[in-house]
């Protein structure tokens, strides 16, 4: 999950792809300029289809053609316009079990890139080795940079300081029809990809916004699909602009109630509701000096809270964090920030050691160094706006969103961010309203539906809502689960389901729990964040990105 670059505070969006430098840009660093617009594609043409091409992903060239191959899916920019030009949707196909059903990976965002997932898979190392690589035992694994994102052309990025209206004008001047970059078109792209590949069916795996695309495929092209896994679900009938504070409040309230019911947690961290209110008053009156935020005030705390809650196990640390921030001095806060930074850098170094350790890893590092378009791994904010405003914003009401916001606990409300979100959509072109706008997807296809108990972005209630109209859906609540399940338990269930399209054993999900954190005696007052299981759904930034974030610091030995 990301925020639009223009938002003054974090507003949650959906993310599956690894975090980029853009997402964790240091506020102390200079603002990057607006990205250069790629050369426009040729004008209207009737030539469409799958065109083999060299991989634009920064992956080892020596394995192209054997372990994986790349292609451009050439499709109309706007299928509602008979005179539309064509665009290129870039895909990478990893060779899996011969004769198996291919699995198509659907990115989050909206606007996320496949880059880091492709890189990890290309060297069969890093965060994919214990999860995504297992999908190759079923069939080919296909990563798609959805239209407007990543290595697809054009990419709808916007500069960090670029106003939405200016970003719109820049893309439109280059000939882009911004109303063509919506969920229904992305779903039709997957249909065209299946046809071009010549396979009778594909399976779908989506996390976060990728679940919304998967559901739309089930609505529009059900006969294309063998089996579908949706994890961290965005139902088609849920608005995207309003309700984010409510989602965070749900996690906070759930954790606080669970702590109050646990004798040890309640003894260590009593009266958490009152403590949270007191913490807001403290940070409003006297923010901490922060090496990252500048001033760690209440808005910074909300940003930090959301970022942390993406990580597996972080919700259980919330009581300890609220308690210690409330009693912290500036010196203790600075020590916590330093410990946190050290943890992030050590985790990045560990991931780099795995990713760049072998012969293919060294080649990957060289390819990354030589990449002339490193921003392709980041967030395409223009695509985010096209999806958000056309598929959600124009069906939502600011007044209704503000009314819902007023019911959220005062410490977590942010009406100004809501107003800003709606104002961004006022400046962005929108596709004509669809009869399917904010309507549930009804399907009899086999679907595995996963939802995390403490997911701050796509709450379990959303998975339950989507499952109500999926007659052959299997709903699996993940106890203590955050945003996306990519551990062994999650992929045991996912791979079993994709193989059989039948109900699977979910006992491993039921044995998980919300584990509270207690510091060891003599440990620092603050504990660094939990080790994350995968950057695919977390906020950990691999050092490829941290290098750009931290002014060129290099961690992996081959660079």
pLDDT band at 199 (very low <50, low <70, confident <90, very high): very high
Is the pLDDT score of 422 beyond 50? yes
Distance CA 384, CA 379 (A): 8
Average pLDDT over residues 8-15: 36
Average pLDDT over residues 46-55: 88
Give, in order, the Cα–Cα distances in Å from 392 to each of 95, 157, 324, 435: 36, 20, 39, 13
pLDDT tens, position by position, 296-316: 999 999 999 998 999 889 999
Query: Does residue 7 fall inside a structural domain?
Result: no
Task: Give the per-residue pLDDT at 521.
Answer: 65
Task: Give the per-residue pLDDT at 16.
Answer: 37
Query: Does residue 176 fall inside a structural domain?
Result: yes
CATH number of the domain residue 101 falls in = 3.40.50.1820
Q: Are 473 and 447 in contact, with CB atoms under 8 Å apart?
A: yes
Task: Give the per-residue pLDDT at 530.
Answer: 52
Q: Which residues, 6+ apart, have CB-to-CB distance to 72 below 8 Å?
A: 50, 51, 53, 88, 89, 90, 91, 153
Is the pLDDT score of 130 beyond 90? no
pLDDT tens, position by position, 92-111: 999 999 999 999 999 999 99
Q: Are 125 and 350 in contact, with CB atoms under 8 Å apart?
A: no
Its domain, for residue 88, covers: 49-240+435-510
Query: Does residue 540 fall inside a structural domain?
Result: no
Query: Does residue 456 fall inside a structural domain?
Result: yes
Task: Give the per-residue pLDDT at 127.
Answer: 79
Distance CA 44, CA 311 (A): 45
Three-state secondary-structure class, residue 349: helix
pLDDT tens, position by position, 316-371: 999 999 999 999 999 999 998 999 899 889 988 988 898 998 889 999 999 999 99
Stretch among 50-64, 131-145, 338-352, 530-544 having the lowest mean pLDDT: 530-544
Is the pLDDT score of 253 beyond 80? yes
The alpha-carbon radius of gyration of the chain (Å, integer) is 22
Is the pLDDT score of 295 beyond 50? yes
Query: Does residue 62 fall inside a structural domain?
Result: yes
Query: Does residue 453 fall inside a structural domain?
Result: yes
Task: Give the per-residue pLDDT at 240.
Answer: 87
Task: Give the per-residue pLDDT at 18.
Answer: 38
Average pLDDT over residues 251-266: 98
Q: What is the DSSP string of 387-422?
A: HHHHHTGGGS-HHHHHHHHTTS-GGG--HHHHHHHH
Task: Give the per-residue pLDDT at 24.
Answer: 34
Query: Does residue 295 fall inside a structural domain?
Result: no
Count of residues in the chain: 559
Stretch among 137-151, 336-350, 503-517 having the lowest mean pLDDT: 336-350
Q: What is the DSSP string of 88-155?
A: EEEEEEE--STTPPPEEEE--TTT--SHHHHHHHHTT-GGGTTTGGGGGGTS-EEEE--TBSTTSBSB
Residue 7 CB coordination number (10 Å): 17
Give the distance from CA 206 to its chain's centroid. Answer: 10
Distance CA 394, CA 402 (A): 15
Residue 52 CB coordination number (10 Å): 9
Distance CA 216, CA 236 (A): 8
Counting the structural domains of the chain, the total is: 1
What's the mean pLDDT when you consider all of the chain? 87
Strand 49-53: give its sheet, edge to edge. 49-53, 68-76, 86-94, 141-144, 103-106, 202-208, 225-233, 443-452, 470-478
Query: Does residue 392 fall inside a structural domain?
Result: no
* Burial degree of 521 (CB within 10 A; 0-12, 13-18, 19+): exposed
Task: Give the per-residue pLDDT at 529.
Answer: 55
């Amino acid at each position: 999950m990301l925020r639009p670059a223009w938002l003054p505070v974090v507003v949650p969006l959906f993310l599956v792809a690894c975090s980029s430098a853009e997402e964790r840009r240091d506020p102390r660093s200079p603002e990057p300029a607006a990205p250069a617009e790629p050369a426009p594609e040729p004008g209207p043409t009737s030539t469409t289809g799958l065109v083999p091409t060299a991989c634009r992903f920064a992956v080892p060239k020596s394995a192209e053609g054997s372990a994986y191959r790349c292609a451009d899916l050439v499709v109309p920019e706007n299928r509602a316009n008979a005179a539309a030009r064509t665009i290129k949707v870039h895909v990478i196909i990893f060779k899996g079990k011969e004769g198996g059903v291919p699995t198509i990976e659907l990115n989050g965002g909206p606007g996320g890139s496949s880059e880091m997932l492709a890189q990890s898979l290309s060297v069969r190392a890093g965060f994919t080795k214990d999860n995504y690589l297992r999908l190759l035992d079923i069939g080919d694994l296909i990563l798609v940079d959805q239209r407007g994102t990543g290595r697809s052309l054009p990419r709808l990025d916007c500069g960090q300081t670029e106003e939405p209206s200016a970003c719109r004008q820049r893309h439109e001047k280059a000939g882009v029809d911004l109303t063509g970059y919506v969920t229904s078109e992305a779903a039709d792209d997957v249909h065209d990809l299946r046809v071009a590949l010549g396979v009778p069916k594909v399976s779908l795996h989506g996390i976060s916004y990728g679940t919304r695309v998967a559901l739309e495929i089930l609505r529009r092209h059900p006969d294309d699909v063998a089996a579908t896994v949706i994890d961290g679900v965005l139902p088609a009938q849920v608005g995207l602009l309003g309700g984010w504070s409510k989602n965070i409040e749900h996690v906070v309230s759930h954790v606080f109630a669970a702590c109050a019911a646990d004798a040890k947690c309640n003894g260590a961290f009593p009266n958490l509701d009152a403590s949270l209110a007191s913490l807001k008053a403290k940070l409003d009156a006297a923010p901490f000096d922060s090496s990252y935020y500048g001033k760690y005030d209440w808005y910074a705390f909300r940003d930090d809270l959301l970022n942390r809650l993406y990580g597996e196990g972080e919700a259980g640390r919330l009581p300890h964090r609220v308690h210690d921030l409330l009693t912290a001095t500036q010196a203790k806060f600075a020590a916590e920030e330093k410990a946190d930074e050290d943890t992030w850098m050590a985790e990045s170094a560990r991931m780099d050691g795995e990713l760049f350790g072998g012969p293919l890893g060294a080649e990957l590092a060289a390819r990354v160094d030589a990449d002339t378009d490193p921003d392709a791994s980041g967030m395409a904010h223009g695509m985010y706006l096209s999806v958000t405003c056309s598929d959600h914003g124009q069906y939502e009401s600011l007044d209704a969103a503000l009314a819902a916001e007023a019911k959220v606990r005062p410490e977590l409300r942010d009406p100004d961010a809501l107003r800003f979100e709606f104002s961004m959509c006022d400046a962005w072109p929108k596709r004509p309203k669809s009869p399917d706008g904010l309507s549930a997807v009804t399907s009899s296809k086999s679907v595995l539906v996963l939802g995390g108990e403490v997911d701050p972005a796509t709450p379990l209630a959303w998975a339950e809502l989507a499952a109500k109209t999926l007659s052959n859906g299997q709903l699996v609540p993940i106890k203590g689960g955050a945003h996306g399940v990519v551990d062994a338990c999650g992929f045991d269930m996912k791979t079993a389901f994709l193989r059989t399209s039948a109900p699977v054993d979910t006992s491993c999900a039921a044995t998980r729990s919300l584990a509270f954190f207690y510091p060891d005696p003599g440990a620092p007052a603050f504990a660094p964040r939990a080790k994350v299981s995968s950057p695919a759904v977390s906020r950990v930034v691999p050092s490829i990105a941290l290098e750009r974030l931290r002014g060129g610091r290099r961690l992996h030995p081959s660079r």
